[in-house]
């Protein structure tokens, strides 16, 4: 049954309710939904819903009509996200906005084979490694797998390239020798209804990939998932791998309609195995793309460096080149559907020269531009000499570098006091859901006119800079209307261009520090129209970074939140009233269109938390987000942090 709680239920009433249900041998799960908090209670014994409905703090009781209880949408309305950590500080998610791709051979054959395949799979974009160590084959004379040795080889290859591993076991006796080596158990099609095996694997609590049986209905499949959920595993991923029909043109018939059907029936994530579905190598990529288009949360494909000599299923295994092209095709298709392909961190590059033995060394901070950019100056003023600097070409590359581990931090501008919002930063904060804001830094922007030595205001004909800098120096430029304004990618790039051209006819508007870096002369300093020209930067990091930046006494904290208002009258007003009820000042509210969803918008809000300690701020923000869920969806806390004037 589903027990909907009163929003005003006390902690004592909630404890009593839990105790009442558990003493009647019911398994209880608390689920915080978009609009309501509910308890899901399931068990072997029936209970009269009226005996629960009369208890204090209970709003109403809804019996679950489906034979599968914990797997049903009635039990949990929000989508489950199955999370699997890797060895590079990331979490691989099934069921979120990102598509997860699993790749590897049908069978583990040798160490050399696994290392080669893992390397190529990781380079192309796979986030998990698959491989069979125990092979249930139709013929007793076919290759049966390497067993425990195969599991160890799979683990070694996965660790070498940052890939969590998934493998199938066919008997409960394999659990002790595999538990410490794999990240996810796979239940194969032949074992989908091996209920004793399901119960034993469920008891381990590990994530499980549950393949659909050869001739199983969707209800039978979900009942198998119910065995896992009721036995203790809360992380189950369903895998459609084709069913047996009278058709013989392909190995099986891929039931693509199962994906949207499952979306309405269950909260569990769904992926597709096109390799076993069609059994023909060149038919796998189009079916994988079709699965993504149909709404799958990921795919699992077989790949082999020498499929013609594979010991198992070589005919359906992709060559590395085919898998690489498939990944590129999925990366193109995903944004059309409002999704992105998940990636693992790569080995971090060496930072610019910095003594790593120096006390306080904190790693690498990426920024967009070249040496002399305002972002680089913000890094120096905020971190001092405790970080190395990594110069990249765009804000998106900064986010990608932090997301994949090429940099521990990123420094990106989010707002200028004169030019307004940096929209690309807002969009990237929404797109990269594994990124959080660790700190803020405000930098006074001072522009100078730079040129080669010997140039004067009278010799100049061309002025290079970023469009924002031209706008910020409008009063000065009006005095020189004959100068041609030439756009550059950044102000620092403008200074570099002028130095490279070496002509007295060219000048750049940039920070004065660029004169030193490019051996230029500073013709005129402080040419900005307003002396109140500031840019606010944010320090971003991976959510798994785990490092808390130091506090700055006297500085108020703020919280940055992204939310999507429901498409109902007054929903945005109701969302904003939550902040008012908690007496919190919204210092900024920005709306941005959602990728792939025309006429829908996400909102970015900055909330001031005056005088609060870190602990108090977290408590208040948690309450705000809990209330916000009644009128919003897709809520994400970007960070609770302090801003530092640099």
Catalytic residues: 535, 537
Question: What is the distance between the alpha carbons of residues 302 and 284, in angstroms, rounded to a whole number?
Answer: 9
Contacts of 420 (CB under 8 A, 6+ apart): none
Q: Beta 484-487 vs 601-609: how paired, if at all? A: unpaired
Query: Could you give the dihedral angle defined by the CA atoms of residues 65, 66, 71 and 77, in that order, rounded to the nearest 10 degrees?
Result: -40
Do 414 and 421 form a contact (C-beta atoms < 8 A)?
Answer: yes
Rg of the chain taking only CA atoms, in angstroms: 29
- What are residue 565's DSSP bridge partners? 632
For CA atoms 353, 358, 363, 364, give the dihedral sign: negative
Q: Which two tokens stand for residue 303?
A: 């790949």
Q: Specify the pairing of strand 184-187 against strand 165-168.
A: parallel
Contacts with 44 (C-beta within 8 Å, 6 or more apart), sequence order: 25
Concatenated DSSP letters for 273-299?
Answer: -HHHHH--GGGHHHHHHHHHHHT-SEE
CA distance 183 to 205: 11
Where do we find the tokens 């940096």? Answer: 422
SS (H, E, C) 315-341: HHCECHHHHHHHHHHHHHHHHHHCCEE
CA distance 557 to 536: 15
Q: Which helix (H) or strand (E) holds 416?
A: strand 409-416
């Amino acid at each position: 049954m589903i027990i909907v709680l009163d929003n005003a239920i006390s902690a004592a009433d909630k404890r009593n309710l839990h105790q009442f249900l558990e003493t009647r041998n019911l398994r209880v799960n608390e689920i915080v939904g978009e609009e309501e908090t509910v308890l899901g209670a399931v068990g072997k014994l029936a209970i009269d819903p009226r005996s629960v409905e009369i208890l204090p703090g209970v709003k109403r009781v809804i019996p679950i009509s489906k034979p599968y209880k914990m797997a049903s949408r009635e039990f949990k309305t929000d989508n489950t996200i199955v999370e699997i950590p890797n060895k590079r500080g990331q979490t691989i998610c099934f069921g979120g906005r990102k598509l997860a791709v699993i790749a590897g051979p049908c069978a583990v054959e040798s160490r050399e084979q696994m290392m080669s395949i893992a390397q190529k799979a990781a380079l192309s974009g796979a986030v998990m490694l698959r491989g069979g160590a125990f092979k249930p084959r139709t013929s007793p004379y076919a290759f049966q797998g390497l067993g425990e040795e195969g599991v160890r080889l799979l683990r070694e290859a996965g660790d070498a390239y940052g890939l969590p591993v998934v493998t199938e076991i066919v008997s409960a006796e394999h659990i002790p020798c595999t538990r410490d080596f794999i990240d996810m158990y796979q239940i194969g099609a032949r074992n989908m209804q091996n209920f004793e095996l399901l119960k034993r694997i469920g008891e381990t609590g590990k994530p499980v990939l549950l393949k659909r049986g050869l001739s199983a209905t969707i209800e039978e499949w979900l009942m198998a998932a119910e065995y896992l959920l009721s036995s203790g595993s809360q992380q189950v991923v369903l895998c459609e791998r084709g069913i047996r029909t009278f058709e013989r043109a392909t190995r099986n018939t891929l039931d693509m309609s199962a994906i949207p059907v499952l979306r309405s029936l269950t909260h569990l994530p769904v992926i597709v195995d096109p390799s076993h579905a069609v059994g023909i190598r060149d038919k796998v990529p189009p079916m994988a793309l079709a699965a993504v288009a149909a709404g799958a949360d990921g795919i699992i494909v077989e790949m082999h460096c020498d499929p013609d000599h594979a010991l198992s299923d070589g005919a359906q295994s992709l060559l590395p080149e085919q898998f690489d092209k498939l990944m590129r095709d999925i990366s193109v298709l995903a944004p059309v559907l409002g999704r992105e392909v998940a990636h693992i961190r790569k080995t971090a590059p060496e930072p610019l020269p910095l003594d790593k033995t120096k006390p306080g060394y904190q790693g690498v901070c990426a920024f967009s531009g070249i040496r002399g950019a305002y972002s680089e100056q913000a890094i120096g003023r905020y971190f001092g000499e405790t970080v190395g600097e990594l110069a990249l070409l765009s804000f998106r590359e900064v986010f990608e570098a932090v997301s994949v581990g090429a940099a521990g931090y990123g420094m990106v501008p989010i707002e200028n006091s004169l030019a307004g919002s940096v929209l690309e930063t807002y969009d990237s904060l929404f797109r990269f859901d594994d990124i959080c804001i660790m700190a803020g830094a405000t930098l006074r922007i001072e522009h100078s006119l730079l040129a080669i030595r010997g140039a004067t205001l009278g010799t100049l004909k061309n002025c290079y800079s970023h469009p924002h800098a031209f706008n910020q120096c409008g009063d000065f430029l009006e005095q020189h209307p004959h100068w041609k304004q030439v756009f550059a990618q950044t102000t620092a790039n403008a200074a570099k261009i002028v130095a490279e051209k070496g002509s007295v006819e060219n000048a750049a508007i940039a920070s004065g520090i660029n004169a030193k870096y490019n051996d230029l002369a500073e013709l005129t300093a402080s040419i900005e129209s307003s002396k109140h020209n500031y840019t606010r930067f944010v320090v971003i990091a991976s959510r798994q970074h785990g490092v808390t930046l130091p506090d700055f006494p006297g500085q108020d904290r703020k919280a940055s939140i992204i939310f999507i208002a429901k498409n109902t009258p007054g929903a945005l007003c109701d969302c904003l009233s939550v902040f008012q009820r908690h007496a919190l000042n919204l210092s900024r509210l920005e709306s941005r269109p959602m990728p792939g969803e025309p006429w829908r918008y996400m909102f970015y809000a900055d909330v001031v938390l005056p005088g609060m300690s870190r602990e108090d701020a977290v408590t208040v923000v948690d309450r705000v987000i809990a209330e916000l869920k009644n009128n919003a969806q897709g809520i994400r806390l970007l960070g609770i942090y302090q801003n530092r004037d640099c």
